[in-house]
């Protein structure tokens, strides 16, 4: 988020942009490689043990960091104003960053679906999981609806993924007044 704020404030030049992105990508990869083997995703044997909420949130957050890093390259994405430094970015670079963003959003949905499938009944998710879930659903729908390339899956599949995300938010966070706006926004 700090990186995106620096882009908006024009503190990052076009020359620095991809250097910063590469540095953040490397930092995120280093974090992932430092995880113990049984903390890696996907688990080697997911059916042998339940998935604690912290495990799911860790991996959802890791993918969300990537989404946040690449989201400014989604030129038609709601809530993103035009960033002058991005205007000079080549079309192939924008497409690459868009595809990375959407791919990580897909991974968030996958982690969430796996968690729901392997969780124990008493497990609850933290607020950050709802935020990751909400943004992933929006990105999946955006990617299916707004990309000029042939979609990896039809709109119906994207709608099912978004509905699963919404169902998880409503199930785990129906008590949260903070998340009411997310739920109502997602249902529109």
Rounded CA-CA distance 148/133 in Å is 24
Rounded CA-CA distance 40/85 in Å is 35
Q: What is the pLDDT of residue 160?
A: 94
Taking residues 116-145, what's their average pLDDT?
90
Please indicate, yes or no, if residue 43 is contained in any of the structural domains: yes
Taking residues 118-127, what's their average pLDDT?
84
Sign of the Cα pseudo-torsion (106, 160, 176, 121, in order): negative
Please indicate, yes or no, if residue 116 is contained in any of the structural domains: yes
pLDDT tens digit sequence for 75-119: 888 876 556 667 778 889 989 999 999 999 999 999 999 999 888
Please indicate, yes or no, if residue 33 is contained in any of the structural domains: yes
Number of domains in the chain: 1
Please indicate, yes or no, if residue 188 is contained in any of the structural domains: no
Q: What is the pLDDT of residue 172?
A: 86
Taking residues 147-160, what's their average pLDDT?
72
Name the pLDDT band for 120 (thresholds 50, 70, 90): confident
**Where do the H-state alpha helices sit in the chain?**
2-8, 14-33, 53-70, 84-87, 91-118, 127-146, 155-173, 180-187
pLDDT tens digit sequence for 15-74: 888 999 999 999 999 999 999 988 999 887 766 567 889 999 999 999 999 999 999 888
Rounded CA-CA distance 2/35 in Å is 25
Please indicate, yes or no, if residue 69 is contained in any of the structural domains: yes
Please indicate, yes or no, if residue 187 is contained in any of the structural domains: no
Residue 149 has pLDDT above 60, yes or no: no
Please indicate, yes or no, if residue 145 is contained in any of the structural domains: yes
Please indicate, yes or no, if residue 91 is contained in any of the structural domains: yes
Preceding amide of 8 cis, omega within 30: no
The domain containing residue 144 runs over which residues?
2-182
Q: Are 170 and 161 in contact (CB under 8 A)?
A: no
């Amino acid at each position: 988020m700090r990186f995106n704020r620096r882009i908006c404030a024009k503190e990052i030049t076009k020359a620095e942009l991809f250097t910063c992105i590469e540095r953040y990508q490397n930092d995120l990869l280093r974090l992932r490689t430092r995880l113990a083997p049984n903390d890696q995703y996907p688990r080697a044997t997911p059916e042998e043990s339940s998935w604690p909420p912290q495990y799911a949130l860790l991996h959802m957050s890791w993918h969300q960091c990537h989404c946040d890093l690449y989201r400014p390259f989604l030129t038609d994405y709601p809530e993103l104003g035009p960033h002058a430094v991005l205007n000079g970015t080549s079309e192939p670079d924008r497409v690459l960053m868009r595809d990375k963003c959407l791919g990580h959003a897909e991974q968030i949905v996958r982690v969430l679906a796996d968690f729901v499938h392997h969780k124990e009944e008493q497990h609850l998710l933290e607020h950050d999981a709802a935020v990751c879930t909400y943004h992933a659903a929006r990105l999946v729908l955006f990617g299916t609806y707004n990309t000029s390339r042939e979609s990896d899956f039809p709109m119906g599949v994207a709608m099912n993924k978004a509905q699963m995300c919404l169902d998880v938010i409503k199930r785990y966070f129906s008590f949260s007044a903070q998340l009411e706006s997310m739920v109502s926004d997602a249902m529109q």
